[in-house]
Chains A and B, each alone.
Chain A
Amino acid sequence: MLKVKGALKVFNKGTINQNVALRNVDLELKSGEFLTVVGSNGAGKSTLLNTVAGNFPLDKGSISIDGIDVTSFPDYKRANLISRVFQDPLQGTAASMTIAENLVLALKRSSRLSLKLGINSKREEEFKEALSILGLGLEDRLGDKVGLLSGGQRQALTLVMATLEKPKVLLLDEHTAALDPKTAKNIVDITKKLIKEYNLTVLMVTHDLNQALDLGDRTIMMDKGEIVLDISGKEREKMTIEGLLEQFSRARGSRLSNDRILLAQ
Chain B
Amino acid sequence: MNLNFIVPSIEQGLVYGIMALGVYLTFKILDFPDLTVDGSFPLGGAVAAKMIVSGANPLVATLVASIFGVLAGVITGLLHTKLKITGLLSGILTMTALYSINLRLMGRANISLLNEVRIFDHFRGLNIFGRDRLIFFLITVIILKVLIDWFLRTELGLALIATGDNKKMIRSLGVNTDLMTILGLGLSNGLVALSGALVAQYQGFTDVGMGIGIIIIGLASVIIGETLIRSDKIWWATLGVLFGSVIYRLVIMTALRLNLNPNDLKLMTALLVILALGGPELKKLNLGIFRSKEGEVDA
Contact with B along A108-133 (1 / 0, CB 8 A): 11100111111100000000000000
A247 CB-CB contact with B under 8 Å: no
A65 CB-CB contact with B under 8 Å: no
User: Quick check: A114 and B154 within 8 Å, CB to CB?
Assistant: yes
| A79 contacts across to B, CB distance below 8 A | 171-175
| A83 contacts across to B, CB distance below 8 A | 172
Among A86, A96, A108, the residue within 8 A (CB) of B174 is A108
In the complex, what distance in Å separates the CA atom of A95 from the CA atom of B157? 16
Q: Smallest CB–CB gap between A175 and chain B, Å?
A: 13
Contact with A along B134-177 (1 / 0, CB 8 A): 00000000000000001101111111011001101111111111
Given A117-B153, A118-B153; A80-B174 close (CB under 8 Å): yes
B264 CB-CB contact with A under 8 Å: no
A92 CB-CB contact with B under 8 Å: yes
User: Quick check: B169 and A115 within 8 Å, CB to CB?
Assistant: no
Q: Count residues of B near A (Cβ-Cβ below 8 Å).
A: 24
Name the residue of chain A whose CB is nearest to the CB of B157.
A118
Among A80, A96, A105, A115, the residue within 8 A (CB) of B170 is A105
User: Quick check: B154 and A94 within 8 Å, CB to CB?
Assistant: no
User: Quick check: A105 and B173 within 8 Å, CB to CB?
Assistant: yes
Q: Smallest CB–CB gap between B190 and chain A, Å?
A: 16
User: Quick check: A97 and B172 within 8 Å, CB to CB?
Assistant: no
Interface size class on chain A is: 20 to 34
Q: Smallest CB–CB gap between B121 and chain A, Å?
A: 33
User: Quick check: A95 and B154 within 8 Å, CB to CB?
Assistant: no
| A92 contacts across to B, CB distance below 8 A | 169, 172
B294 CB-CB contact with A under 8 Å: no
Name the residue of chain A whose CB is nearest to the CB of B28.
A96
User: Quick check: B172 and A84 within 8 Å, CB to CB?
Assistant: yes
Of A53, A80, A108, A161, chain B has the most CB atoms within 10 Å of the CB of A108
User: Quick check: B159 and A97 within 8 Å, CB to CB?
Assistant: no
Given A76-B174, A76-B176, A117-B153; A105-B158 close (CB under 8 Å): yes
Q: Smallest CB–CB gap between A120 and chain B, Å?
A: 11
Given contacts A86-B172, A105-B162, A114-B154, 20 further A-B contacts (CB under 8 A): A75-B172, A76-B172, A79-B172, A79-B175, A83-B172, A94-B162, A94-B165, A94-B166, A97-B162, A104-B158, A105-B159, A105-B170, A105-B175, A109-B173, A110-B174, A113-B155, A114-B155, A117-B155, A118-B154, A145-B232
